[in-house]
């Protein structure tokens, strides 16, 4: 995602060009391919599916226009994918923040539960002691009543 974040969208001759932070430019690559096409240095690939079979009957200029159009479409698709990746990355950042907050809240609630459980145990012990004391006093009252009668 850091590589995607470092990409910038540029426009060259009406063609959106994504340029990587390393300096690899599609514009330079296209220029090199065009130069090789002009010199006739590129081999013809019969099973190349970039240009349809009809493209073999096209002139070089028409093939270049076709390739540039396909490149624009691919670059738009790439720009959309980059946008979606950035959007998902932002969503992930938000979710990571929420997860961190939830974990902190969970830790806080666990401490509260632990404290309340220890207080509950303390009050149970005090209640048992008070019940024993009450029973002892009740027996004492009963014994005193028998003495008074």
List pLDDT tens digits, range 49-77. Answer: 566 555 556 788 888 888 899 999 999 99
Tokens of 124: 């149970």
The residue-averaged pLDDT of 6-11 equals 43
Contacts of 10 (CB under 8 A, 6+ apart): 16, 17, 18, 19
- Per-residue pLDDT of 123-134, as tens digits, reads 999 999 999 999
**pTM strictly above 0.85:** no
Tokens of 121: 């145990």
Q: Which pLDDT belongs to residue 54?
A: 56
Tokens of 133: 């004391």
Is 106's pLDDT higher than 80? yes
Give percent above pLDDT 70 in the chain. 70
Is 109's pLDDT higher than 90? yes
Is 115's pLDDT higher than 80? yes
């Amino acid at each position: 995602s850091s590589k995607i974040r470092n990409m910038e969208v540029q426009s060259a001759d009406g063609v959106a060009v994504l340029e990587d932070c390393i300096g690899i430019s599609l514009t330079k690559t296209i220029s090199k391919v065009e130069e090789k096409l002009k010199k006739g240095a590129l081999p013809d690939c019969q099973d190349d599916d970039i240009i349809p079979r009809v493209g073999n009957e096209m002139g070089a200029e028409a093939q270049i226009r076709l390739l540039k159009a396909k490149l624009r479409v691919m670059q738009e698709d790439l720009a959309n994918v980059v946008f979606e990746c950035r959007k998902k990355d932002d969503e992930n950042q938000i979710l990571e923040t929420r997860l961190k907050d939830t974990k902190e809240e969970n830790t806080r609630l666990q401490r509260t539960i632990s404290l309340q459980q220890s207080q509950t145990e303390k009050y149970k012990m005090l209640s048992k002691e008070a019940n024993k004391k009450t029973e002892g006093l009740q027996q004492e009252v009963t014994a005193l009543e028998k003495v008074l009668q």
